[in-house]
């Protein structure tokens, strides 16, 4: 286990230290030597100067796409999982089977049909061409289904109905407060998946000013003479700037994880024990 952790931890340590050094120091110096804070400031200055601060635009786009899709996901996935778990209706088993099959399909396999569908309704190149596919999250429906099936007693909901609650009131006033852990879990998985998604926005968005951060990183790579010698572009995007850009795109996910880890643990352990 120690060797396994070391294997994956060393690249992260190198990435952190690379932002403090110059490109020459990265190539010829000790890989794990420490540079200066001035190196970080210099790398940020060069990164921010690239296309007039487009890195901030990419981060803003990532936040817009990820949080916009997150809202739609929670509005659709949580009620869908609740209905599949605790409601009886025609086609319920078939719908659950289809949800499982779609959940097992690779996301990349759906990009082309999604693009054709988005293009047919003339939404390609808009923010909705990214937000709507991002909000399709069958894994969230399945997680919610498992949670409500194993952690919310049907008798509790029946008691609420006997007390005069409508189906909407049962869901909103009884089921939803009990489902906070799984809501946090679904929200976190959806946010991280959307933030790190590269292929779908790359296909859907033709304008680089609309790119999210992950597609923007690819744009940085192709614009750097370090990795693309045929680009003919002269700029200051070297290894320290690329390392810093990578860290900047990781920070939002790390912040979300730190502030939601208690709810995440509760959601993952829900139903694990019986008393």
May I ask the CATH class of domain 40-269?
Answer: mainly alpha
The pLDDT assigned to 201 comes to 94
Tell which wins on pLDDT, 12 or 271.
12
Instruction: Report the Cα–Cα distance between both ends of the chain, in Å, rounded.
Output: 33
Domain borders along the chain are 40-269
What pLDDT, in 10s, does the model give residues 212-253?
Answer: 999 999 988 888 877 776 655 567 788 899 999 999 999 988
Q: Is 97 helix (H, G, I), strand (E, B) or coil?
A: helix
Tell me the two tokens of residue 86.
Answer: 């605790």
What pLDDT, in 10s, does the model give residues 127-158?
Answer: 999 999 999 999 999 999 998 888 888 888 88
- Report the range of poorest mean pLDDT among 26-35, 72-81, 112-121, 125-134: 26-35
Residue 211's pLDDT band, with cuts at 50, 70 and 90, is very high
The pLDDT assigned to 165 comes to 85
Distances in Å between the alpha carbon of 140 and those of 146, 166, 212? Answer: 10, 25, 23
Q: How far apart are CA 234 and CA 225, in angstroms?
A: 7
Cβ 140 vs Cβ 73: under 8 Å: yes
pTM over 0.85: yes
Average pLDDT along the chain? 87
Q: Is 183 helix (H, G, I), strand (E, B) or coil?
A: helix
Which DSSP helix (H) or strand (E) runs through 28?
helix 23-28
């Amino acid at each position: 286990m120690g060797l396994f952790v070391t294997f994956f931890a060393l690249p992260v340590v190198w990435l952190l230290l690379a932002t403090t050094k110059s490109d020459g120091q990265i190539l010829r110096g000790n890989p794990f030597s420490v540079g200066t804070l001035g190196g970080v400031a210099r790398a940020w200055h060069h990164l921010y100067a690239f296309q007039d601060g487009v890195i901030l635009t990419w981060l803003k786009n990532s936040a817009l796409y990820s949080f916009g899709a997150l809202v739609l996901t929670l509005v659709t996935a949580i009620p869908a999982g609740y209905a599949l778990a605790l409601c009886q209706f025609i086609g319920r088993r078939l719908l659950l089977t289809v949800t499982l099959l779609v959940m097992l399909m690779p996301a990349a396999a759906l990009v082309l049909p999604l693009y054709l569908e988005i293009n047919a309704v003339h939404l390609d190149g808009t923010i909705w061409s990214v937000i709507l596919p991002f909000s399709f999250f069958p894994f969230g429906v399945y997680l919610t289904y498992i949670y409500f099936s194993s952690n919310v007693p049907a008798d509790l909901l029946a008691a609420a109905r006997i007390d005069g609650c409508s189906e909407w009131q049962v869901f909103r006033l009884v089921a939803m407060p009990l489902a906070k852990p799984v809501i946090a879990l679904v929200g976190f998985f959806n946010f991280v998946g959307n933030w790190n998604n590269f292929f779908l926005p790359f296909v859907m968005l033709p304008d680089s000013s609309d790119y999210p951060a992950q597609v923007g990183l690819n744009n940085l790579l192709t614009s750097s003479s370090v990795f693309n010698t045929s680009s003919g572009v002269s700029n200051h995007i070297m290894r320290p700037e690329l390392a810093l850009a990578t860290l900047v795109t990781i920070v939002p996910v790390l912040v979300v994880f730190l502030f939601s880890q208690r709810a995440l643990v509760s959601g993952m352990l829900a139903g694990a024990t019986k008393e």
